[in-house]
């Protein structure tokens, strides 16, 4: 499971998903890290974030992943300005062996709108992954029912 998180919500969701999947199989957590992380001060006024989101830029990240040895990919991102966080954009771009892989995607946002999954879905579909579940969460409020749905989607 790979995720980026700035203020901790996406990370909390990632850990809850990891926990619920424990009985099914091992889930490796991979935190996407930027080579030059955005400053944490005044996030909403950060021109670099606004610019990168607006122009769908792909800022450099520290490391990427080859999916060959994994059965499935779970990927999470915060929503910034109606789209995924730019480092997640970079991560997916560099992702190898995603073709045909089962994938679960989740996004965290202030509003929790269903349509916020679209940017991550489209990006991953462009790599040929097979999305089995897409989830939009308000902040870190994922419920048991949704966690169970993720388990079911990965089992089938
Ligand atoms: C720069 C910035 C832009 C954001 N844009 C949106 C947005 O367009 N829609 C929304 O619902 N929430 C937006 N949010 C709220 C975040 O998506 C939300 O706080 C999310 O849980 C953050 O995830 P994180 O704690 O893993 O970083 C924005 C937050 C920041 C800092």
* Per-residue pLDDT of the chain in tens (156 residues, 90 and over written 9): 999 999 999 999 999 999 999 999 899 999 999 999 999 999 999 999 999 999 999 999 999 988 989 999 999 999 999 999 999 999 999 999 899 999 999 999 999 999 999 999 999 999 999 999 999 999 999 999 999 999 999 987
Please, what is the angle between helix 47-54 and helix 86-94, to 10°?
50
Show the tokens assigned to 84: 């995924």
Q: Which of 78, 108, 113 to mutate to test the pocket of ligand 1 (most atoms within 8 A of CB)?
A: 78
The CA distance from 148 to 156, in Å, is 12
Dist. CA 23 → ligand 1 center (Å): 31
Domains of the chain: residue spans and CATH: 2-155 (3.40.50.360)
Dist. CA 26 → ligand 1 center (Å): 29
From atom 2 of ligand 1, which residue's Cα is the shortest distance away? 80
Please state the φ and ψ torsions of residue 102, each to the nearest 5 degrees: -70, 140
Chain-centre distance for alpha carbon 103: 11
């Amino acid at each position: 499971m790979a995720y980026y998180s700035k203020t901790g919500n996406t990370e909390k969701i990632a850990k809850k998903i990891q926990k619920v999947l424990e009985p099914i199989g091992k889930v490796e957590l991979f935190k996407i890290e930027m080579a030059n992380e955005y400053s944490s001060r005044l996030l909403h006024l950060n021109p670099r974030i606004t610019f990168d989101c607006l122009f769908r830029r792909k800022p450099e990240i520290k490391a990427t992943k080859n999916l060959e040895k994994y059965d499935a990919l779970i990927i999470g991102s915060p929503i910034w300005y109606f789209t995924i966080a730019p480092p997640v954009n970079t991560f997916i771009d560099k992702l190898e062996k995603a073709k045909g892989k089962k994938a679960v995607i989740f996004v965290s946002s202030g509003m929790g709108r269903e349509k916020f999954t679209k940017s991550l879905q489209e990006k991953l579909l462009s790599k040929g992954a097979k999305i089995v579940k897409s989830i939009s969460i308000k902040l870190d409020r994922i419920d048991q029912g949704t966690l169970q749905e993720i388990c079911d989607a990965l089992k089938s």
